[in-house]
Structure 1
């Protein structure tokens, strides 16, 4: 992208591209989104919000990095996409098992027992940053968008300006955050409706089952 791309008029297409790319990555409900909804249903609202922002932070960071170094990033990630996919699926299965086990322990605890919730908002943020960061599909998608010019006209890995990359990354973050926060809010409302021990166990088991199924899809896809 030439220096003229730094003008506000030239940055509008980049802003729109970032929003479109952010929603394109965020809207498909995969195992991470399923885990977010299930977790938000069983925890205070701030935990779900922190998890949603963790996902969006990684999406925005990957968009920024690929906006700056699109071709280089794609060349380095593509050879290890297979192992990363296996690791991602394995982590999601472990999280699904942990969520189901935790909910079962809550269900079988005595009525008089008070159980402190160990998951805080900072820990939720860090957890979702970690499980989102190991997904190779996200960074490869943004790399294709940038280097292929599918959504960013006149942008190449060698010529895109820092300002354009920053706008692209910020727009992708805003788009992803808006959708992830909507999912977290939906999970919180679901948790209020199904706030009893059986309801919370049911949402946990449903979320964990869906996560395992989607993890298998990630593994074989």
Structure 2
């Protein structure tokens, strides 16, 4: 049981700690909205990681074999989604900044908690890095099929908890950043920097050989 717990924690932190496009978007989203929205988005990321961990321990090597043909299409879908999010974030930040300076029009409401959860859940499920990571985890766990139901449950729960704790930490950092950058110009720069980072990561993903 202890081995399953440690394996789950290592798997969860292993996929969560490297801050890529999803983490960048999470921090930016929380900085522009609220901690509640950010935490819900963070739980969306962790839920996707937990679902892949569950599929890994249940599907075994058959899952990894089935995922291989889909990795290429998933990579390009993820590239397009990231590019669209980056463009939308930059355009939205510029529009809000312009409207607040030139007019008194109301700013569109930020995404709600449920919408943020579903958006980050979907984006993480499309992320080929997550797919490849858990597929490799399956292939490397030769004894996974022999594990009992209790050990599998502990592993999946630990992976979810590890991912959730790190993503919530990122959301908290985004909330602190949002409080520090209370001015319109500060929030604009945050959104533009995040969009630039996401665009660069999407280009890198597109140009990296599969």
TM > 0.5 fold call? yes
Give the structure with the larger helix fraction.
2
Which residue does 2:89 correspond to in 1? 99
The answer for the alignment partner of 1:141 in structure 2 is 133
Structure 1 residue ranges without an equivalent (≥5): 1-10
- CA distance, structure 1, for counterparts of residue 108 and residue 96 of structure 2: 10
1:171 partnered with 2:162: no
Which of 64, 72, 78 is residue 74 of structure 1 equivalent to?
Answer: 64
Tell me, yes or no, if the aligned pair for 2:64 and 2:139 is still in contact at 8 Å. Answer: no
Offset of residue 116 of structure 1: 4.0
Confirm or deny: 8 A CA contact 1:146 1:155 kept in the other structure: no
Query: Using the alignment, how far apart are the partners of 1:166 and 1:220 within structure 2?
Result: 37
For residues 23-77 of structure 1, give each alpha carbon's deviation from its aligned partner in whole angstroms, at most 9, with x where no partner exists.
1101111111111111111001111111111000100111011011121111111
Q: 2:50–2:159: 8 Å Cα contact kept in structure 1?
A: yes
What does 1:119-134 correspond to in 2, within 5 Å?
119-134=111-126
Instruction: Give the direction of change, closer, same or farther, for the CA distance of 1:139–1:169 in structure 2 (3 Å limit).
Output: farther
Q: Which of 27, 37, 41 is equivalent to 1:37?
A: 27
Match of residue 161 from structure 1? 148
* Alignment partner, residue 199 of structure 2: 212
- Contact in 2 for aligned 1:67/1:143 (Cα 8 Å): no
Aligned-CA RMSD value? 1.4
CA distance in 2, matches of 1:206, 1:132: 21
Q: Report how far residue 191 of structure 1 moved.
A: 0.7
What's 2:75 paired with?
85
> Residues 138-195 of structure 1, C-alpha deviation per residue, up to 9 Å, x if partnerless?
133223223313xxxx623x33333222211111111111111111110111011111
CA deviation after TM superposition for structure 1 residue 215, in Å: 1.0
Give the length in aligned residue pairs: 206
Any idea what SS the aligned residue of 1:109 has?
A: helix
1:114 Cα deviation after fit? 3.0
